[in-house]
Structure 1
Amino acid sequence: MDTLIGIYKETGFAQLEWQMVVMWLVTFGLLYLAIVKKYEPLLLVPIALGALIANLPITEFILQEPVYSATGEQLDAGGLFYYFNQGIKLQIFPPLIFLGVGALTDFGPLIANPRTLLLGAAAQFGIFFTFLCAPLMGFNLSQAAAIGIIGGADGPTSIYVASELAPEQLGAIAIAAYSYMALVPLVQPPVMRLLTTEKERKIKMKTLRHVSQLEKIVFALMVMIFCLLVIPDAAPLLSMLFIGNLLRESKVTERLVKAAQNEIINIVTIFLGLCVGLKMGGYNSEGAHNFLNTYTLSILGLGMLAFVVATAAGVIMAKLMNSVSKNKINPLIGSAGVSAVPMAARVSQDEGQKADPSNYLLMHAMGPNVAGVIGSALAAGYFLAVFSN
């Protein structure tokens, strides 16, 4: 019997705790949303699998740091996922995601209708509103800044800021950001319908003019230079975004564009998702689970607030612009000011067609959508400049 007990104590079963089992249920829920409901499966599947691994009694082996002797000799190479985690810790993965996003993005709709830049800017109000609200719930200013970025509905940017300003909250912030990105088709439409009339939803916008290759290249170069001079801390994200876009618009680097759009972004997405999931396990110095706590629920609630306010701000800005302009904007495209590309733009299109099946808003909505990508990255750079040590 003593032998059997000894064998049992050597297995992982003896180290299981109830918090781990609860987190298994959370990961199964994420897998259900990803596989059955098809909500952001490319991110939620690796995040869920990373979270499952993090809540098995094996993390001390896979996350172990390298061990060195007093003379500097390496005694242990460390665990595999320790090295994967350096992609987040050293802020490598999010900029690489932006490279792929830039290679997939067409700035033509924004250039053809530059007014929509204001809609993307207005949607960032959700970020700053939540930043002001978070301290009321016990978060410090650095944590409030990281939580506020969730309002941009931009997972890589949220991870980028959280890894610097609030690494202890990274798991909850990443889950909130990607969950709300996945729930764009469910969360945004009620807000859009509440703030608009049927007549406004039926507004048809003029066909966008053709934008030349030269215009797109000049726009990308000028905006990149301007943004990086104004907020240098946004350089890692915005520079990679525009590098990817310039590769696309140059029309002479097809192989590089395809690599950025496919192989690079897909590989990084796997590692990024797994590493985010790994942040949803472990225990702090007081013995409390890093994810199952009231702060996590507060972050999820504040993230939803940020997202709803950002959506509403974009719609309201469009209505204000219509009050002073004869060339009307359909307020539905204001909701696309959050940077969930291109999902938010598709929601604007879907809601417009529900009001009038002959109304096509997708290309118009892409203007504020890509403006939102730039806006959330600038907001992230501002917070990093102010609160980073």
Structure 2
Amino acid sequence: MLTVLIKFWGTTGFANITWQHLVMLTVACILLYLAIGKGFEPLLLVPIAFGMLLTNLPLSGVMEIGDTVLRAISPEAAGQAAELLHHPTAEMLREGIPVEYYTRTPGGLIQYLYTGNKLGIFPPLIFMGVGAMTDFGPLIANPRSLFLGAAAQFGIFFTFTGAVLLGFTAQEASAIGIIGGADGPTAILVTALMASHLLGPIAVAAYSYMALVPIIQPPIMKALTTKRERRIKMQQLRTVSKTEKILFPIMVTIAVSLLLPSATPLVGLLMFGNLLKESTVTERLSKTAQNELINIVTIFLGVSVGATAQAEQFLKVQTLQIILLGVVAFAMGTAAGVLLAKVMNKMMGGDAINPLIGSAGVSAVPMAARVSQVVGQKENPSNFLLMHAMGPNVAGVIGSAVAAGVLLSLFN
């Protein structure tokens, strides 16, 4: 009986838990607290944190690839198999041994869900839902907002350079830099395609900084603007016609896809979702994209991304570097947007643009726009910047997708 109990104990997670597991379980619980207790991006952080919790429970097997059997076949097929299934057969392939493998026992549940990220399926679907929920009217009414959205992507390329100088490869630096766009799906897509081994820390950093927008941005915004600038009241935006709203997603898709074909999945589905909304003849499809579809994909994406944050891969000096570089990317993007808005305001006479809206150029929609509104109203309670800030905010969504396309075209 004692032997049976000892054997059973050896199969439990209690007998196999390590301090690394305990650290990661603590991190997961902290993220759950921030999401549930403090309301920081709960729709994103709750799935991510719970996925992190599941994967760091010893012997849970949720991210197991599955048992495999090897047999000799042609070298070409072997290379395909290794690339698709990420099985550690590299040494055999280098020695010219033609191998094939197939699953003998099933892998973990979340490993199969993670395939949607690895193959680049989930992030564009999230973008479609975002497009269906977003009003591009403020951007169309004030095209200058495009420059503010573009300026905020400076953080991506600044941090890319810093990461390369720290010894990261161009592919890894691209994935780290994209955190500066404050766009979780884009960060996940770029990382999955270019540096999948960094997906855990990059996803956690990207979504954590998105959740902390109301804390990170205001000090930067106040440091770079004067009280007078923060009190500037902007003129009401013009009314945008239905025709303009329908033509905009079509024209943007064509222009961006011809210039950067690698950005087509993100920008194309973002604009497709928006067209479903603005055409008014596909209401059922628009509602599905805005609700059921994006909710389901968010659950799958969040849990599977969180599950990549396994203790043995996450607890490294490299992870700390990524988290620090991520906050630098985010801060530089915010600062660049504010500074360009100041320059534009000076060029237009000094009272046309409130520089606070420049911080909304990062693509955390609509949170970054709300932060511009809150900071502006603290200086002038009669000031309403939300719709003005939505222009740079949605421009930032497009800008981060374009930046991702540039990096994929150059380094993937």
TM-score (norm 1): 0.95
- 2:376 is matched with which residue? 352
Residue in 2 aligned with 1:285? none
Aligned-residue offset at 1:16? 1.4
Secondary structure class of the residue paired with 1:38: coil
Structure 2 partner of 1:379? 403
Is residue 68–residue 76 contact of structure 1 (8 Å, CA) maintained in 2?
no
Q: How does 1:1-389 map to 2 (within 5 A)?
A: 1-60=2-61, 63-65=64-66, 67=68, 70=71, 75-281=104-310, 289-326=312-349, 328-388=352-412
Contact 2:54 2:62 in 1 (8 A): no
Structure 1: distance between partners of 2:374 and 2:12:
53
Assess if the C-alpha contact under 8 Å between 1:54 and 1:279 holds in 2: yes
1:141 is displaced (CA, Å) by 1.3
Say if 1:61 and 1:378 are closer, same or farther in 2 by CA, change over 3 A: closer
In structure 1, give the amino acid aligned to 2:137: G
CA–CA separation in structure 2 for the residues paired with 1:73 and 1:46: 30
Report the Cα offset of residue 324 of structure 1.
1.6
1:286 aligns with: none
Q: Do the aligned partners of 2:224 and 2:338 also contact (CA within 8 Å) in 1?
A: yes
Which is further off, 59-68 or 236-245?
59-68
2: CA distance, partners of 1:208 / 1:349: 15
Decide whether aligned partners of structure 1 residues 219 and 16 sit closer, same or farther in structure 2, where only a CA change above 3 A counts: same
Contact 1:97 1:268 in 2 (8 A): yes
| Deviation, structure 1 residue 68 | 5.4
Deviations 1:171-201 (A, max 9, x none): 1000111001001101100000000011101
Cα deviations across residues 241-287 of structure 1 (Å, max 9, x unaligned)? 000000000001111111000000000010111111110115xxxxx
Amino acid at match of 1:374: I
- Alpha-carbon contact 1:192-1:315 (below 8 Å) kept: yes
Q: Is the 8 A contact 2:111 2:304 kept in 1?
A: no
**Counterpart of 2:313 in 1: which secondary structure?**
coil
> How far apart, in 2, do the equivalents of 1:199 and 1:368 lie?
21
**What SS is found at the alignment partner of 2:104?**
strand
Q: Counterparts of 2:398 and 2:248 in 1: how far apart (Å)?
A: 13
1:346-384 deviation digits (Å, cap 9, x = unpaired): 000111111111111000000000000000000001111
Q: Which deviations, in whole Å up to 9, do the C-alpha atoms of 1:65-106 show, x marking residues without a partner?
A: 364574987633433222101101111110000000000111
CA contact 1:65–1:82 (8 Å) conserved in 2: no
User: How far 1:291 sits from its partner (Å)?
Assistant: 0.3
State how far apart, in whole Å, the 1-side matches of 2:284 and 2:67 are. Answer: 37
Q: d(CA) in 2 for partners of 1:82 and 1:113?
A: 44
Task: Give the Cα–Cα distance (whole angstroms) in 1 for the partners of residues 149 and 11 of structure 2.
Answer: 56
1:62 Cα deviation after fit: 5.1
Partners in 2 of 1:25 and 1:72 — Cα distance? 37
Mapped to 2, the partners of 1:69 and 1:307 lie a distance apart of 45
Q: CA deviation at 1:61?
A: 5.8
In 1: Cα distance, 2:355 partner to 2:266 partner: 29
- Shift in alpha-carbon separation, 1:332–1:56, aligned structure 2, 3 A: same
Unaligned runs of 5+ in 1: 283-288
| Alpha-carbon distance between aligned partners in 2 of 1:260 and 1:143, rounded to the nearest angstrom | 32
CA deviation after TM superposition for structure 1 residue 329, in Å? 0.6
Change over 3 Å in CA distance of 1:321–1:280 after alignment to 2: same
Give % identity.
61
Q: Report the CA distance between 1:295 and its aligned residue.
A: 0.8
Number of aligned residue pairs: give it: 382
Equivalent-residue separation in structure 1 for 2:110 and 2:30 (angstroms)? 23
Deviation at 1:224, TM superposition (A): 1.0
Give 5+ residue unaligned stretches, structure 2.
72-99
Cα distance in 2 for partners of 1:222, 1:73 equals 45
What SS does the aligned partner of 2:151 have?
A: helix
Taking only aligned residues, the RMSD between alpha carbons, in angstroms, comes to 1.5
Deviation at 1:18, TM superposition (A): 1.2
Structure 1 CA distance, aligned partners of 2:260 and 2:20?
42
In 2, the alpha carbon distance for the partners of 1:36 and 1:357 equals 29
Moved more, 129-138 or 355-364: 129-138
The amino acid of 1:116's aligned partner reads S
Which AA in structure 1 matches 2:342? K
Distance in 2 (alpha carbons) for counterparts of 1:39 and 1:75: 42
Query: 2:337, 2:368 → 1: CA distance?
Result: 12
Distance 1:173 1:10 in 2: 32
CA distance 1:204–1:58, shift in 2 (3 Å): same
